[in-house]
Amino acid sequence: MQLDRLDSVEKDLEALEQRIQEKLRPYAAPLALLKEIPGVDWTLAAVIIAELGVAMRVFQSVLQLASWAGVRPGNNESAGKRKSSRIPWGNVYLKTALVEAANSAAKAKGTYLQDKFYRLKAGAGISAPRWP
């Protein structure tokens, strides 16, 4: 009985993935560009397209986009005083997808993004992301 349920769930998942790929057909060019980024597969690219769209004219700058997503970097220390370092509000689904992509890019061997991560890690005292 359990194996039948598992087979049913796998069939449902396959049907949903096919529907998502059908909906993504008009966005084939942006999808292909996003998949070139290390750490971004078709599911992450689909989330980015679904949450952001492809018309970037909505945002006046890259900083506004990063702020809207809740991933805008900030310097919260000045003259020895620390300001609030709370995580800003943003699009939860997009932020989760971007963090997942960043973690995947950090472990992709021989890429610029991995080198950048380890340079930042060395200067900030950050531990490496954990993965199995």
Q: What is the tens place of the pLDDT at every residue in 52-74?
A: 888 888 889 888 888 888 887 66
Instruction: Tell me if 27 is assigned to some domain.
Output: yes
Q: What would the 3-class secondary structure string for 4-51 be?
A: HHHHHHHHHHHHHHHHHHHHHHHHHHHHHHHHCCCCCCHHHHHHHHHH
Instruction: Tell me if 131 is assigned to some domain.
Output: no
Number of domains in the chain: 1
Which DSSP category does 109 fall into? Answer: T
Q: What pLDDT digit, counting tens, does each position of 11-57 carry?
A: 999 999 999 999 999 999 999 999 988 888 888 999 989 888 888 88
Instruction: Tell me if 130 is assigned to some domain.
Output: no
Instruction: Tell me if 28 is assigned to some domain.
Output: yes
Q: What is the pTM of this model?
A: 0.70
Q: From the CB of residue 128, how many other CB atoms can be counted at a distance below 10 Å?
A: 10
Q: How many CA atoms lie within 13 A of 116 on its CB side?
A: 9
Q: What pLDDT digit, counting tens, does each position of 95-117 carry?
A: 888 888 888 888 888 888 788 87
Instruction: Tell me if 55 is assigned to some domain.
Output: yes
Instruction: Tell me if 48 is assigned to some domain.
Output: yes
Instruction: Tell me if 129 is assigned to some domain.
Output: no
The residue segments making up the domain with residue 73 are 2-124
Residue with tokens 């008009």: 26
Of 3 and 67, which is predicted with more confidence?
3
Collect all residues with Cβ–Cβ distance below 8 Å to 95 and sequence separation of at least 6. 69, 70, 71
- CA–CA separation, 82 and 76 (whole Å): 6
- What is the average pLDDT across 74-82? 68
Residues 31 and 54: beta-carbon distance below 8 Å:
no
Instruction: Tell me if 58 is assigned to some domain.
Output: yes
Q: What is the pLDDT of residue 94?
A: 87
SS3 112: helix
